[in-house]
Chains A and B, each alone.
Chain A
């Protein structure tokens, strides 16, 4: 046990001191926050501040559109109304566009029959100005609807009441937390776990290859068992991963509580991560890391170089990638049969069961079963991996084939 501790401590200290650890610790949250803020900005429609003209026979329609475009929630445009148009209007407008006084004009041709809609022709200065066009399109719908409703005899106040946006409040049963931000928190932790398991699993493999290429392991093997060496590596590298996550989580909690991030990200983003969520996160992260890093240890012992490792990477990446694909299934129906089955597969358990717990608490027996299944799988994989490790670490030169690896398992 003392040897395991020595190996783990060395692994931990050497890794914590590296520059790449510092860089990763800072860079990943920056990228994550950047990505989230970016996608938020994309999802809230971009506002256009163009100067346009609306040409229409129907003055009421043009004024309504002007009102919607200038004061509506999606746009802040400057709109000139030309109603009714004269024969020279089109030429004047074209000149103004050429002089860059106008960003474009919308020509409304009245409908030919009572039930048909008018025709709209948009002439922009730059065809690339998609945002303005989209703003106009989305502004036209309520305007037309309002007009049609007014035609049917509704009073303006009734129309306004009808057009009010609907607000739906969601609360999880028995909880008063804001589920949107809870989901948000779960989502972030899901990808955090995915990322860290992958990253540090690879680090275990890499660290073994490094010892193989530097030949240091044979000195180590003269005093410690391969099993101790492997255990020490997995524990040491895993602790680095936990340290990194701890730094991130503490930073996230501090930042969100000071509302710095929330004001930055538009006012309504704040992470809600409950204590239970963090506890389950740690349990499933540890189990997941143990599972994947022992696979990685075996892969590292089998190969001689990073390049060879790349070829075997899929054994690590594939199961994790499947989890990400399955995420949609779980999010849509966390308690469904499909979600239950997927989340009980040990390779998917850490990510998917954790996600289910965050979304809606699955039955306790399922959580217990998933942990038992994982522990069993981890034991089996460690058994196989330590045997592969023990033999593989002393092999260099050629890459073993499958029958050879099967033989290694039988060596005492």
Chain B
């Protein structure tokens, strides 16, 4: 592709129409952010305050401080869910990064019939909707005991393999073979070659894959819901939210629900603030699929 970087010096001066656009976007973005902002300040109100005056800020009558958060943490156990979500996400993404990058390098260098077949199988798996395999997957996972937060990463590795192998393969194909040949002459064996020569070159792809997989695993609801053993209290944030808020018109305090939503959104916003550039790059890199 023919990429032309626009240097700041090339940019024309700001025109009047652009200022007007900026004003329009400022209004548009305020409206865009409104749902999240309302949830945030409503989490400090009591139930009546939320229902009767949803769009107004907390006042002396309905302000309850952090009580909603306290109840949410104590009754719903959102911290425990957050802990399991974190364990599952970190283990799964680490496993996916290590295993699929090695796999992608191997199948692109060995190029046997089986490797080619495996590659196309991975691409095929990206088209298959989760509903097609979810019932039987939960039965298989149950049988193999993959139902705890420490074993479910194996399931995520299998499911994440499609996109990850595809993205890593795209990069591996672009590495000049001469580099690896030179390393062989210097006496590298394959593991040394991979970890000391190939892996450092693939760093940008690692970041992109990590971002995409993190967004997926952290927010995934259906897979952990079907696979995790709930009798042992294994829940993730989406499962905890779904159980707490489901059919809760009137039963669970609405204020507590607002607090739970805020607690679920905050870590994500923090993550976004920290690695915004990488996230945008990851999304663009992931969009080569299809």
**Chain A bound to chain B:** no
| A contact set with B: CB distance below 8 Å | none
